[in-house]
Amino acid sequence: MGDCKLYDIWCENATEDKDLIEELKSIENQDTEINDRFYTSLKFGTAGLRGVIGAGTNRMNIYVVRQATQGLANYVLNKYGKGAVAISHDSRIKADLFMIEAARVLAANGIKTYITRELEPTPVLSYLVRYFKCQAGIMVTASHNPAKYNGYKAYGEDGCQMTDEAATAVYDEIQKLDMFNDVKIADFDEALASGMIEYVDDSVYDSYLEKVLEQQVNPGTCKGADLKIVYTPLNGCGNKLVRRVLKTIGVEKVDIVAEQELPDGNFTTCPYPNPEIKEALQKGLELCEKVQPDLLLATDPDADRVGIAVRDYDGSYRLITGNEDGVMLTNYILSCMKEAGTLPEKPVVVKTIVSTKLINKLCEKYGCELKNVLTGFKYIGEVILNLEKKGEENRYLFGFEESYGYLKGTYVRDKDAVVASMLVAEMAAYYKKQGKSLAQVIDAMYEEFGYYLNRTVAFEFEGETGMQKMAAMMQQVRDELPEAVDGYKVVKVSDYQRKTETDLLTGTVEQLTLPTSNVIALHLENDNAVIIRPSGTEPKIKLYITAVGKTKDEAEKVCEGLVSSSEKILGI
């Protein structure tokens, strides 16, 4: 078995991390365990690297991080001749170690490296790349994955996550390298003393916060609103900056979920620290029952996404979906700016293709251009960049994706839970002064436009066979397109891999201009839809369902039918 040869090489060379040495010893002569760690290498893609922490080419460890960073260094030097890179990390296990190892490799390659003294949110890393005019950035995070994972997100000079083209070029460089023999590595203290590695000064975070505060829609609204918030950073890195921004805008009453306040990569009270799922918010909801706030805010471990719950009519707490929050924030920004006469000419709102269609109605109402982009916030960043190139960045108002990622402003190029937390608090205070809760606000929008229910259903397929199974499922859907889903006729099909959009009513086929992506969207009658895509970061196939009804019950019914019918189509 070829993997055993690799295993032997690792036993001989992986001598700098005692955890890896122990793990390698513990799997001796266990073919299945060895194969799982060595049958493939973590692939460097547009989301960088992500994997389980441990020994082997198929795991996150210092050797895989060093090899990836050498590949990144070669890419930067080939493209720019010289360069600078900013690096930060969240609360993940070994995240600070991986940051330092990456910095050592960059310094050894003559690349100036800026690192943070402690964990910082992902949007701050995006800000640092632009602030220091770097050619690339690295964020050590696995976002909302369980504790056993870590990851390495790579950023381009524009502060966006790397494009497909750049990620492919870096991956090509990584492929040429032997991870034990071809990686340059500097002594950390020497690199620090010589200035090749430099810690980011605290004043830089002050300038970031100034930019966040510039995004207020109605400055001063929170003062005197008596707004009460429960906040949980989910043991991640939002704690300091989110609390600071809330205090600055005048939110006096903030209760913190004590068990989830401090950084902890084990996430003991929320094994799956994803604000999209109720279990992650459980501790926050329990505190809400005690202190009865207007609002619960929960930022994910790398503080680029925020989940919320609001007090309902009966005093219980209602979870607000990412789509609902995105729609409310868009409505708040558009309606207030229109009223104040500050809406720019031809305003632009951006959403991902899997996010709610309710936003279309809102944009029509305010004469706002809506741009649809592929899943991944870098595509929203790309829209900002293109507007910037034309000197029209002020047209960009807001961008969001259904998985709780939001951005107002152009100071960073990634979703930002710090600005989103601020805006949600401001919006809640604004409506509270009018005697309305956020539950009433979203319900009024459903009353006006119809009930748009969005549901994401994920099916997990672990390991090598899982990947093959997912590929076969996608192929089968393409080869045997359904005429209807649960009785709702398919009126249009968008295939983002074949880059075609087929109108089944007229037979016309249009070319899609978005980048190639393995996504199929089935547009159905009555504005219903089913979008199918394999996740880029996890071994899952995801269904994004849009179900429309006059009421929530009606939409729920439609949704159930669409889910079970889609499962049959996929053969699950």
- The amino acid at residue 485 is V
- The amino acid at residue 366 is Y
CA atoms within 13 A on the CB side of 105: 27
Q: Residue 163, Cβ neighbours under 10 Å: how many?
A: 17
- Give CA angle at 267 (22, 455), nearest 5°: 120
- Alpha-carbon distance 89 to 525, whole Å? 45
For residue 532, give the DSSP letter. Answer: E
Q: Which two tokens stand for residue 467?
A: 């990947």
Give 316's strand partners: none
DSSP 455-466: EEEEEE--HHHH
Strands 136-140 and 84-89, by their bridges, are: parallel
- Please state the three-class secondary structure of 233-256 as a single string: CCCCCCHHHHHHHHHHCCCCEEEE
Torsion of CA 286, 287, 288, 294, to 10 degrees: -150
For residue 526, give the DSSP letter. Answer: G
Residues 6+ apart with CB under 8 A from 221: 249, 250, 426, 429, 430, 433
Q: How far is CA 235 from the centre of its chain?
A: 17
Ordered domains of the chain (ranges, CATH): 40-207 (3.40.120.10), 224-449 (3.40.120.10), 451-570 (3.30.310.50)
DSSP E strand stretches across 107-206 = 112-115, 136-140, 149-156, 197-199
Strands 369-373 and 348-352, by their bridges, are: parallel
Check: CB of residue 209 under 8 Å from CB of residue 241.
yes
Q: What is the pLDDT along the chain (572 residues), one digit of tens a residue?
A: 446 799 999 999 999 999 999 999 999 999 999 999 999 999 998 789 999 999 999 999 999 999 999 999 999 999 999 999 999 999 999 999 999 999 999 999 999 999 999 999 999 999 999 999 999 999 999 998 999 999 999 999 999 999 889 999 999 999 999 999 999 999 999 999 999 999 999 999 999 999 999 999 999 999 999 999 999 999 999 999 999 999 999 999 999 999 999 999 999 999 899 998 899 999 999 999 999 999 999 999 999 999 999 999 999 999 999 999 999 999 999 999 999 999 999 999 999 999 999 999 999 999 999 999 998 899 999 999 999 999 999 999 999 999 999 999 999 999 999 999 999 999 999 999 999 999 999 999 999 999 999 998 999 988 778 888 888 899 999 999 999 999 999 999 999 999 999 999 999 999 998 888 999 999 999 999 999 999 866 789 999 999 999 999 999 999 999 999 999 999 88
Q: Which two tokens stand for residue 56?
A: 């082997």
Does 143 participate in catalysis according to the annotation?
A: yes
Q: Residue 402, Cβ neighbours under 10 Å: how many?
A: 23
CA distances from 382 to 159, 180, 223, 307, 323 (A): 10, 36, 36, 24, 21
78: closest CA among 191, 186, 153, 176?
A: 176
DSSP 117-141: SS---HHHHHHHHHHTT-SEEEEE-
CA distances from 20 to 57, 62, 140 (A): 12, 9, 19
Sign of CA dihedral 291, 296, 299, 301: positive
Of the residues 143, 421, 437, 517, only one is catalytic, namely 143
pLDDT at 361: 93
